[in-house]
Structure 1
Amino acid sequence: MKAIIPVAGAGAKLRPHTYTQPKALIPIAGKTILSFIVDQLHAADITEFIFIVGYLGEKIQDYVKQTYPHLTCHFVFQTERHGTGHAIELTKNIVNNDEVFVVLGDTICEYDIKEVMASPYSMLGVKKVDDPRTFGVAEIDDEGFVTHVVEKPSIPKSNMALVGLYKIKETHFLFECLLHLFKQDIKTYGEYSLTDALDCMIKRGAMFKSFKVKNWFDCGKKDSLLESNATLLKKFGGTIHESVVAENSIIVSPVSIGPGCVLKNAIIGPHVAIGANTTVQHSIVRDSIIGSYTNLYEVVLDNSLIGSDASVKGLSRSLNIGDNTEIDFG
């Protein structure tokens, strides 16, 4: 079994952070989004990974090589983005007809991965949503088999959304259907969709079973990212690195504070994740994500997302600041 993780997207909804950092490397609850995905798959004994990279792909490559030197990793560059179907097709020669587990690069979910891996069927992860029109949608029969999938339907016939988890056993079949989309120029919203390829497989006789995820953490936009950060910190409790220096400061759990951080006359938490080597002085920070090598001085931050190598001085309430930024409210 090989894992495929598409992380070539530009992350437009998380700008300005994704101008300088891939969305998959944005920190959440003390880890990157990508690490949550890779660690979960590796815990299920997957040791070979294919990363589809594009925008700022070298940063993903460097991060993976440094963090996971023990894994077998391939990097495929998607220089032009034509959809998830196009991205997956680029992995054909590396997949070589092996079974794959595809996880979209902004998908953090709670589910029984070992049970999914043990199933004799191909599997699609789903979760009930209030408004399925912005998702891929699965129609499911009484026995849990998927009978039809469609991308962002205007009139959904199901409220079961595809969450971005796909275990595919018949990969030769997958690449045949992708080729069919390309030859017939079948696009959805101007892109070659993995959902369309899966529906092609179902129509041609492939059997997919659905599995429900317990939780689905949305990391696509600032507000939902902060909400997911808070939920994951509550669940896992957060960590404070032993090297953190805290002088005359109060820490309200749960928080995650990385190595080399210095806190002086600060109140941190709850629901705060801070990267490595960041300094916070005379400040109050809650419900926020702060990057690495950042300096905060005399600020009050609530529901804020601050990038790495940033400097913020003065008084503020809610910010969304990218990397390498300097702001003085004095």
Structure 2
Amino acid sequence: MIAISVANQARIKTEPLKTSLKTFIKALFPWLVASGLFFYLFNKFPPRQVLASLQHVSLPWFLGFGLAYFLTILLLDNWVLSRVLSRFAAPVSFRELLPARCVSYLLALVNYNAGQAGMAVYLKRTRGLSFFKTLGCIFFVTVVDLYWVIAMAFAGSFLMDIHLQGFQLQDWVRRVAGIALIAFVLHLAFWRGWFGKIVPAKLHFGVGDWLRGKHLFQPFHHATVADYFKIALARFPIHAAIVSSLWFLIRFAGGTVSFRDVVATVPIVLLVGTIPLTPGGLGATQLALVELLKDHVVPPPAAHGSVGAAELLLAISLAWMILNYLLKAIAGLIFLRGGSRELFKEAPDAAPH
């Protein structure tokens, strides 16, 4: 009995350690994959040549465009999210949401989920909004964005012949789009209760009603087809800016590329980045961008052949990512000082949800 008791105690003590180790490995794995992809890229394209390609970038144009781009995305994103919250949770003005959105950008640099949860906490404590309703609204916008990426990638698959590491991407993208279309119809049928109008009452499952009653899924339950199209239309300028920005960046670096090729490939790069193998598509998007566009970009003539298209694309991609991360951090820090007092202060009239 004593031996069994000692064994049980040992098992109880080691279980938290095993859980922590699994959590650590699960968190570390995406970074290992990203590191492996960057190792491959920098082994194939020497860092010295990648850095040298940045010498041809017009810094004033690059920084000015980056600032205008960031502010445009921020303001449009904040405006759409305030509309979604007002539609499915409670009225939230553009001005009220802006500090929380900026701080969420900052937190998301460390952990994406923490950034979204931080905004939900802010609105709960300052406005008394349900934590899960806010998360549901963010999730709703994320789903709309994902469908936009798939739709644009599908359209792009008809604009040019696309290969990645010898793999034909057109068929893959079109299959993903077909599956997404079927999933969207089933998605609407479930959340709008269309199945309940067709299937006999005795065959209904209670879990569907239970899910539709949860705050986290309220936007999906109440959203009509018109809501999806209105919100998708409002998000279109954001996606148009994201896709077209690369054309300008290549021009600022002295290179040239067909706008058609950019429109065809960037959505597919974004779609590859949604595959949850690396943090935020880090490494995967750079690899996809280089492989898809390197044969379609003309390097700057001033480089006299010392800079290749692949090095230029990799350099621009990394510089653009760093600039956007920096601007997100600055915006978050600006609002954090004034907004953090509200973020962590319980509102006296906040109702539990």
Larger radius of gyration: 2
Structure in which a larger fraction of residues adopt strand: 1
Which structure has the higher relative contact order (CA within 8 Å, separation 6+)?
Answer: 2
TM-score computed with the length of structure 2 as normaliser: 0.28
More helix by percentage:
2
